[in-house]
């Protein structure tokens, strides 16, 4: 008589390999991760998505083109820019409405300064995490 099994033999073998992989991963050194964003009294003023959008606006000169490049809907891009412009002392993006050859978007001086400072802060934060990982790992190993 043949016994009924829950899983075919080949699936059980893959499951064992996955379990061995999990054990090996749990013994690996931890990697520290983090995210940076800027908040004001009005709420979140700048995130990774907002920074990416600002950079694309600077390159493309158009909000709709920047949104397309990032695969954002135009509405999402417009709302991000509107929120950022309202939460800083002065607008980060100057928008010009218009049809053919009339519209456009460009970063203001404050916008350029904010994006440069934000990217610099991200690099410093990543460096901090990388240099802190060995110290963290020493205390983690028992």
Domains delineated in the chain = 38-137 (1.10.10.10)
Model pTM score: 0.74
pLDDT score at 124: 96
What digits encode the pLDDT tens for the residues 79-108? Answer: 999 999 999 999 999 998 876 666 789 999
Short-list 40, 38, 52, 36, CA closest to 86: 40
Short-list 60, 69, 51, CA closest to 119: 51
What digits encode the pLDDT tens for the residues 34-51? Answer: 999 999 987 999 999 999
Q: What are the φ/ψ torsions at residue 106 (nearest 5 degrees)?
A: -145, 150
Give residue for tokens 């100057």.
94
Please check the confidence at residue 110 and state whether its pLDDT lies above 90.
yes
């Amino acid at each position: 008589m043949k016994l009924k099994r829950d899983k075919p033999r080949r699936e059980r073998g893959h499951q064992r390999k996955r379990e061995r992989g999990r054990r090996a991963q749990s013994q690996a050194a931890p990697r520290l991760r983090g995210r940076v964003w800027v908040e004001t009294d009005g709420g979140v003023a700048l995130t990774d998505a907002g920074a990416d959008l600002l950079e694309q606006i600077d390159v493309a000169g158009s909000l709709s083109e920047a949104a397309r490049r990032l695969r954002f809907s135009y509405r999402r891009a417009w709302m991000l820019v509107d929120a950022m412009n309202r939460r800083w002392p002065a607008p980060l993006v100057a928008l010009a409405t218009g049809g053919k050859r009339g519209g456009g978007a460009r970063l203001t001086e404050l916008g350029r300064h904010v994006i440069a400072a934000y990217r610099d802060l991200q690099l410093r934060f990543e460096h901090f995490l990388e240099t802190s990982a060995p110290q963290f790992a020493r205390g983690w190993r028992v």
